[in-house]
Amino acid sequence: MTAPRPVWMERVLAEVEREQPAAFEIFAPPVDPERRSAVLMLFGPGPGDDGEVDVVLTARSRDLRAHPGQVSFPGGRVDPTDAGPVEAALREAHEEVGIEPSSVDVVGSMPPLFLTPSGNAVTPVLGWWPVPGPVRVVDPAEVEQVERVPLAELLDPARRFTVVHPSGYSGPGFEASGLFVWGFTALLLGAVLDLAGLAQPWDPSVQRPIPEHVLSDWMRNRG
């Protein structure tokens, strides 16, 4: 059975256009960024019949130079042969975790966000998966794990906190389905949940350090 698109997905795009949340202003890219990429924020009905929704998240390969081991959305560089960010996000999701582009109902794109360390302007593409198919690690050089994470876990206030990094960075974080989500992905997830009107009150004063195995990947990448 095909699951209808949740009404909150349209609301996210409408709210981004109407109020331009702080995250999209703070991380606005320069006029001519060094790199352009796109990620697919793919939501779909969970495996049960309870109306649960989940989202596809990946853990990047620990051998990558940029953001090794971090949790991310499927996605990657916009190639010259891509028609634009939407096509790039769908292509990359297929190449990385086996999502068929034709199975995705593309809701729309959000403004790009700039990742200073990699000089990358990343366009989030919001999609609905009315009939989810299997996901798997297709390219181990890019992805080492893929999960369909229940939205209920990400909305649980007990699973939200402020991440503290030795570099002095602090920002939103989540822990769900065995994944420690921080940085760009957590920032984007938090913004979407807020714009959707789904977020539950949580305590930003609760701080957690980055797990040692995640931090070691970051340190190795810097070296």
Specify if 83 maps to a domain: yes
The mean of the pLDDT values for the chain is 88
Question: With a cut of 70, which residues of the chain have pLDDT below it?
Answer: 1, 61-69, 214-223
Number of folded domains that form the chain: 1
Q: Which domain range does residue 197 map to?
A: 7-222
Structure tokens at 7: 């009404």
CATH of the domain at 45: 3.90.79.10
Within a domain: 135: yes
| Tokens, residue 199 | 């977020």
Per-residue pLDDT at 219: 57
Distance (Å, whole) CA 41 – CA 105: 11
pTM of the model: 0.90
Q: Is residue 76 assigned to a domain?
A: yes
Give a yes or no: residue 2 inside a domain: no
Nearest C-alpha neighbor of 75 from the set 138, 147, 118, 124: 124
Residue 1 lies in a domain: no
Q: With beta carbons less than 8 A apart as the criterion, state whether 188 and 112 touch.
A: no
